[in-house]
Amino acid sequence: MSPKTRASARPRTLAVDIGGSHIKAAILDPRGRPASERARVATPDPSTPAAITRAVERLVRQLPDFDRASVGFPGVIVDGRVLSAANLHRAWVGQHVVRRMRAAIGRPTRVANDADIQGLGVVRGRGVELVLTFGTGVGSALFLDGRLVPNLEVGHHPFRNGDTYEDQLGDRPLRRVGPRHWNKRLRHAVATLRRLFTPRRIYLGGGNARLIRPPLPPDVTVVSNFAGITGGIRLWEDDA
Ligand code: BGC
């Protein structure tokens, strides 16, 4: 297929990744390949529902036309409502994020946890697979034979010295202790979680995954943060 045919093939999906520091978006072709430039804006501060919604509207205006949308959100969503979003304004809790995004985007829209979307973009679909994302917060997703086990929140679970995984491995502690020490903590976290889940494979993603350095065990794969966008197509798989 020529790039031109690919770009005009339908349906086209707007994939948005709402992060604690940036909101990113791109248009994907029906096979989940980028069909536009990536667009990015800083996450508004304070990151209230109204401010984030306006930022998403602005991003959408920068991109070509699309038919439907997938949004990755950095918190727990149950029945369309936000249960927690540790790195966004607390006014998000209780918000119907799906309704809000659908109204802002103006097309059929699905919303899922950001780490779940990252995971959908990378897992191979065999056995237990664990996905961890490192950005402003620490995200996690667990899969069994390619099916998501919902709402796993490793980030807010105790890790060491009375701190959670996010307290020790999020963006703030990374800046405080530097990449070397952060990598040491990360290896310890991977070993601890491997004992807990015995996954077939562990994927490490998110904006700070580019700072991960060897040695890593052979069953651990560092994946591109762009999977947080391209994985969005999988939310529409049953309708493809
Ligand atoms: C949230 C997760 C999210 C992760 C990465 C954590 O603070 O609780 O739901 O996936 O940050 O954004």
User: Hey, what domains does the chain have and what are their CATH numbers?
Assistant: 3-113 (3.30.420.40), 123-222 (3.30.420.40)
The response to whether residue 86 sits with its C-beta less than 6 Å from ligand 1 reads yes
List pLDDT tens digits, range 64-83.
Answer: 999 999 999 999 999 999 99
The amino acid at 45:
D
- Considering only CA atoms, which of 161, 227, 218 is closest in space to residue 194? 218
**CA gap 173, 209 in Å, rounded:** 15
Segment 103-125, tens digit of pLDDT:
999 999 999 999 999 999 999 99
Contact 136, 73 (CB under 8 A): no
**Distance, CA 189 to ligand 1 centroid (Å)?**
16
Angle at 37 between CA 33 and CA 43, to 5 degrees: 105
Contact call for residues 193 and 202 (beta carbons, < 8 A): yes
Q: Strand (E) positions, the chain?
A: 13-18, 22-28, 39-42, 68-73, 76-78, 81-84, 109-113, 128-134, 138-144, 147-149, 158-160, 163-164, 201-205, 220-222
Confidence band, pLDDT 50/70/90 cuts, at residue 240: very low
What's residue 9's pLDDT?
85
Residue with the smallest CA separation from ligand 1 atom 1 is: 75
Q: Does residue 164's CB lie within 6 angstroms of at least one atom of ligand 1?
A: no
Please identify, by atom number, the ligand 1 atom nearest to the C-alpha of residue 115: 10
Query: What percentage of the chain exceeds 90 in pLDDT?
Result: 92
Residue 233's pLDDT band (cuts 50, 70, 90): very high
Residue 67 alpha carbon to ligand 1 centre in Å: 28
Upstream peptide bond of 215 is cis (omega within 30 degrees of 0) = yes
Tokens matching residue 126: 């065999």
Phi, psi of 214, deg, nearest 5: -65, 165
Inter-residue contact 21 to 29 (CB < 8 Å): no
From the CB of 113, is ligand 1 less than 6 Å away?
yes
At 168-194, the pLDDT tens digits run 999 999 999 999 999 999 999 999 999
Number of Cβ atoms within 10 Å of the Cβ of 136: 21
Distance CA 220, CA 231 (A): 19
Q: For residue 24, is pLDDT > 50?
A: yes
More confident residue, 8 or 175: 175
Q: CB of 155 closer than 6 A to ligand 1?
A: yes
**Does residue 55 have its Cβ closer than 6 Å to ligand 1?**
no
